[in-house]
Structure 1
Amino acid sequence: MAALEFCLAAVPLFTLIFAILDFGRYTITIQSLRMLADASARANMIKCYTPAVIASNSPSTCTGDYLADADKQTIAPFLYGAGLTPTVSTAATATAGGNALVVTARQTGFTMLVPIWGSTFNAPSASTNIPY
C-alpha cells in the first residue's frame, strides 16, 4: 500500500519539480537574451548611431551587428550551452512615438523540456528600442 501511495504522490511532485527547473531555465535564457540585446544596442550606438547623428545623417542605416561572436559569448555564456547559438538582428521601424532601431536577440533552437508547456515558450527572444 505504501508503494502505491508513493507512486500517486511522486508523479505530481516530480512533474512540479521538473516544471520549476524548466521554467527557471527559460527565465535565465530570457534574461541572457535581454543582456545580449542591450549590449548589442550599446555597441550599435557607439559604433554607428552616435557618429551618424553627429554627422546629421539618419541612423536608420545602422542595422549591422557590431558585436563579435566572442563578445557575445562573454556577455551571455548561458546561451551557448547545448550547442545553441543566439542570433542578433537590428531593424529600423516606425513606432507610435517616432522612428526607432529595434535590436532583437533570439535563441532559435531552445525548447522546453517538460511537455506540459507545449510550444508556448519555444524560441524565446528579447528586444531593445533605440529611438531617433
Structure 2
Amino acid sequence: MRRLDQRGVAALEFCLVFVPLCLTIFAVFDLGRYAITLQSLRMLANAGARTIMINCYSNAVIQKNAPTTCSGDPLPTDTAKQAVAPFLYAGGLTPTLNAPATATSPIVVTAASPNFQMMMPIWGTRLNAPSVTTQIPF
C-alpha cells in the first residue's frame, strides 16, 4: 500500500486556524477600544454635568426654576477636556461636549466623538461616532 504525500498539510492547517484567530483578536481589540471610548465619553459628560451643577445652580434652581445662564460647552477648553478624558484625544480625535441652550428639566449634557471610526469593516457604520448623555434634574 502506498502512503499519501503529506507535504503542505501543516501549512494548510496553519492558514485555516490563523485567519479566524487573527480576525477574533482584532475584533476583541476593536470592541475594547470602543468600550474605552464610551467610558471616556461618560466621564467627560459627567464632568460637564458636574461643572454645570457647580457654576449654574443658584437659589432659583433650588426653588425649582430653570437655570438661565448655562448653555453651550461646560468645559470650553480642550485642556480641561483632555484632563478629564485623555484617551479621547488619541490619534488626533477631538470630542465635543454640549448642553442645551434652553434649560428644560432635566438638563441633558451630551459628549460625542464624531470622528471615531471602528477599524474593522465587519461592524458597519453603526458603531461609528459614539455619543453619551448625562441628565441633571432640577
* TM tier relative to shorter chain: 0.7 to 0.9
Offset at 1:90? 0.6
3-state SS of paired residue (2:99):
strand
Find the aligned partners of 1:50 and 1:9 in 2 and give their Cα distance. Answer: 63
Return closer, same or farther for 1:115/1:9 CA change in 2, 3 Å cut-off: same
Aligned residues: 128
Q: How far is 1:83 from its partner?
A: 0.7
Partner of 1:114: 120
Which residue, 75, 89, 109 being the options, matches 2:84?
75
Normalising by structure 1, report the TM-score: 0.88
CA distance in 2, matches of 1:79, 1:125: 12
| 1:32 alignment partner AA | S
Q: Which runs of 4+ in 1 moved over 3 A?
A: 54-57
Q: Which has the higher strand share?
A: 1
In the TM superposition, 1:2-17 aligns within 5 A as 2-17=10-25
Distance 1:87 1:51 in 2: 29
Which ranges of structure 1 fall in alignment gaps of 5 or more residues? none
- RMSD over aligned Cα atoms: 1.9
1:45-84 CA-to-partner distances (Å, cap 9, x unmatched) read 1111346525875215522323232111011000001111
- Looking at structure 1, the residues matched to 137 and 45 of structure 2 have their Cα atoms a distance apart, in angstroms, of 15
Could you tell me which amino acid in structure 2 is paired with residue 130 of structure 1?
I
- For the residues of structure 2 that align with 1:93 and 1:66, how far apart are their CA atoms? 13
Answer whether contact 2:88 2:95 (CA < 8 A) is retained: yes
Determine whether 1:19 maps to 2:27. Answer: yes
Alignment counterpart, residue 130 of structure 1, candidates 102, 121, 136: 136
- For normalisation by structure 2, the TM-score amounts to 0.84
Q: Hey, what does 1:87 align to over in structure 2?
A: 96
1:66 aligns with 2:81: no
